[in-house]
Amino acid sequence: AALAACPAGAVDPLPSWNDTPAKQRILSFVAKVTNEGSADFVPPEARIATFDNDGTLWCEQPMYVQLAFALARVKTLAPQHPEWRNTQPFQAVLEDDMKALVADGKHGLAELIAATHAGMTSDQFEEIAGDWIAAAKHPRFKQLYTQCVYQPQLELLDYLRASGFKTFIVSGGGIEFMRPWTQRVYGIAPPQVVGSSIVTEFQIKDGKPVLMRLPKVNFIDDKAGKPVGIGQHIGQRPILAFGNSAGDLEMLQYTTGGGGARLGLLVYHNDAQREYAYGPAGGLPDSKIGTFPQSLMDQAEKSGWVVVGMKDDWGRIFPFDPQ
């Protein structure tokens, strides 16, 4: 079946994927759902593929990029907020005291989001986020965050679209944090980005009609929220879903629980040398970011989901890695 997708003389659509069973599973799945003669044929309008973002399309360690954005934003805004010097969680951010920040927990995070993601119009936020992401670099790789995306996944996105799929992001991250750059980086247009959001309100401000961002959570697109977000935004059950953590369990269940051919995939970060290694599945170090528990590994085996181990399945990780 893989050969059918890749006839002699044809260019390998996934050159950064090693020739392992993971790649074969992808190639044979795409071959059968696009082959009109196949019992598993799926018409183009039903070829929906959903991808988690953090840890699935781009690097999420040592912290979520959006958290790095929020921290940087606090520092930028600090001169206008002298009270932040002795108010948590801002003091912790300004003093680079990650322990105090973590101790402040979810409440602190909500305050950070309110202070950095709300109180401006959607257009203003798009500009702020877009400007930051255009310059901000990963602390280890010293490359733009938007360069710290996985080359094999860029190839997979292209390959799926060339095979008639519509590709969507379904992320726990903020929908408006991603939209300014997903077209340029992943070829995924803003309407095809699903994510968490805060409440927006239509207002006429200084005579201009705007959407004002309010400091109130609207929707959390994680865990059981992912199928709900898919239902809201896409309105079709995907036939392929790719995630990397416990937050993707329900999306993979929902996707592979439909009739006909389905494919569930998970990135497993087991490559400390080229990227990061974390689980705790398979005995890797535990991580609060992108947790991949053993229970998810067991579920993947039971459900026939493809666990893509970075170390063995990907020949190249980042676009800036040597070919």
Interface residue list for a copy of itself (CB under 8 A): 45, 122-123, 166, 168, 175-176, 179, 183, 189-193, 197, 200-202, 204, 208-211, 218, 224-228, 231-237, 250, 253-254, 257
Out of Ca ion, a copy of itself, none, which partner does residue 269 contact, by CB within 5 to 8 A per kind? Answer: none
Cis peptide before 89 (omega within 30 of 0): yes
- The CA distances from residue 26 to 13, 21, 241, in Å, are 11, 9, 11
Helix axes 249-256, 225-233, angle to 10 degrees: 60
Give me the least distance between CB of 11 and Ca ion, in Å please. 30
Give me the least distance between CB of 244 and Ca ion, in Å please. 5
Out of Ca ion, a copy of itself, none, which partner does residue 52 contact, by CB within 5 to 8 A per kind? Answer: Ca ion
- Which run of H or E residues covers position 138? none
d(CA 181, CA 148): 13
Q: Of how many residues is the chain composed?
A: 323
- The Cβ-side half-sphere exposure at 39, using a 13 Å CA radius, reads 2
Closer Cβ to a copy of itself, 44 or 282, answer by number: 44
Binds Ca ion (CB under 5 A): choice among 34, 167, 192, 245: 245
Out of Ca ion, a copy of itself, none, which partner does residue 54 contact, by CB within 5 to 8 A per kind? Answer: Ca ion
The residues, any chain, with a CB within 8 Å of residue 43's CB and separated by 6 or more, are none
Out of a copy of itself, Ca ion, none, which partner does residue 235 contact, by CB within 5 to 8 A per kind? Answer: a copy of itself
Closer Cβ to a copy of itself, 36 or 206, answer by number: 206
Tell whether residue 222 is a contact of Ca ion (CB under 5 A).
no
The residues, any chain, with a CB within 8 Å of residue 203's CB and separated by 6 or more, are 209, 210, 211, 212
Cis peptide before 280 (omega within 30 of 0): yes
d(CA 112, CA 92): 11
Out of a copy of itself, Ca ion, none, which partner does residue 78 contact, by CB within 5 to 8 A per kind? Answer: none
Out of Ca ion, a copy of itself, none, which partner does residue 209 contact, by CB within 5 to 8 A per kind? Answer: a copy of itself
Q: Which of residues 33-72 bind Ca ion (CB under 5 A)?
A: 52, 54-55
Closer Cβ to Ca ion, 54 or 221, answer by number: 54
**Using CB under 5 A as the criterion, which residues of the chain lie in contact with Ca ion when the complex forms?**
52, 54-55, 244-245
